[in-house]
A and B are shown apart, each in its own frame.
Chain A
Amino acid sequence: MRARVALAAFALAVLAVPLLGREYYTILMLSFFAYGVALLGVNLLLGYTGLLSFGHALFIGLGAYAAAFLTGKFGVLHMEAILLAAAGGAVLVAAPVGALCVRYVKIYFGMLTLAFGMLFYSFLLKFYHLTGGDEGMRVLQPFLLGFDLSQTPKVKFLTGPYYYYSAAVLFVATFAMWRIVASPFGLCLRSIRENPVKAESLGIGVARYRWWAFLISAAYAAVGGALLGPTVGQVDPGLTYWTQSGNLVFMTLLGGFANFFGPLLGAFVFIYLQDAVMSVVPYWRLIFGAILAALVIFVPGGLMGLVTGRGARPGIKAGRERAQ
Chain B
Amino acid sequence: MLAHAINVLQSGVFHAAILFLVAAGLQLVFGVQRIFNLACGSFYALGAYAGVSAVSLLTGAGLPQHLFILALLLAGACLGAVGPLVERLLRFVYDRDETFQLLLTFAVVLMMEDITRILWGTSPRSTGGLYLLYGQVRALGVTVPVYNLIVIAAGLAIALGMGYMLARTQFGRIIRATAENREMSEALGVNMRAVYVKVFTLGTVLGTLGGALVIPATAAMSEMGIDLIVEAFAVVVIGGLGSMRGALAGALVVGVLRAVAISTWPELEMLLIYLIVIAVLVFRPRGLFGSAAA
Contact = CB atoms under 8 A, between A and B. Distances in A.
10 contacts: A115-B233, A119-B278, A241-B226, A246-B38, A253-B103, A285-B113, A286-B115, A297-B104, A317-B97, A324-B294
Given A122-B269, A122-B274, A289 B111 contact: yes
A300 interface: yes
Nearest to A105: B294
A316 B103 contact: no
Contacts of A100: 278, 281-282
A292 interface: yes
Interface in A202-233: none
Interface size class of A (residues with CB under 8 A): 35 or more
Interface in A290-324: 290, 292-293, 296-297, 300, 316-317, 322-324
B267 A126 contact: yes
Interface in B145-173: none
Contacts of A175: none
**Main SS class of interface, B:** helix
Interface of A: 46, 52, 54, 100, 103-104, 106-108, 110-112, 114-116, 118-119, 122-123, 126-127, 241-243, 246, 249-250, 253, 282-286, 288-290, 292-293, 296-297, 300, 316-317, 322-324
A316 B96 CA distance: 10
Given A106-B98, A296-B104, A297-B104, A289 B233 contact: no
Contacts of A253: 103
Given A283-B114, A285-B110, A296-B104, A324 B293 contact: yes
Given A106-B98, A289-B109, A293-B104, A115 B237 contact: yes
Nearest to B267: A126
B106 interface: yes
A119 B226 contact: no
B293 A115 contact: no
Given A119-B275, A122-B271, A289-B111, A249 B237 contact: no
A292 B103 contact: yes
B93 interface: yes
Contacts of B270: 118, 122
**Main SS class of interface, A:** helix
A108 B111 contact: no
Interface string B278-294: 10011001000000011
A103 B143 CA distance: 48
A119 B274 contact: yes
Contacts of A285: 110-111, 113-114
Contacts of B275: 119
Given A108-B294, A246-B38, A297-B104, 13 more contacts: A107-B241, A110-B102, A112-B278, A114-B230, A122-B269, A246-B106, A246-B109, A283-B117, A286-B118, A289-B114, A293-B89, A293-B107, A322-B293
Given A242-B226, A297-B92, A323 B294 contact: yes
A290 B98 contact: no
A312 to B, nearest CB: 9
A300 B230 contact: no
Contacts of A297: 89, 92-93, 104
Nearest to B234: A115
Contacts of B267: 126-127
A292 B99 CA distance: 13
A241 B274 CA distance: 13
A111 B92 CA distance: 23
Contacts of B237: 111, 115
B281 A112 contact: yes
Contacts of B99: 46, 52, 249, 316
B277 interface: yes
Contact of A283 (B109, B118, B271, B285): B118
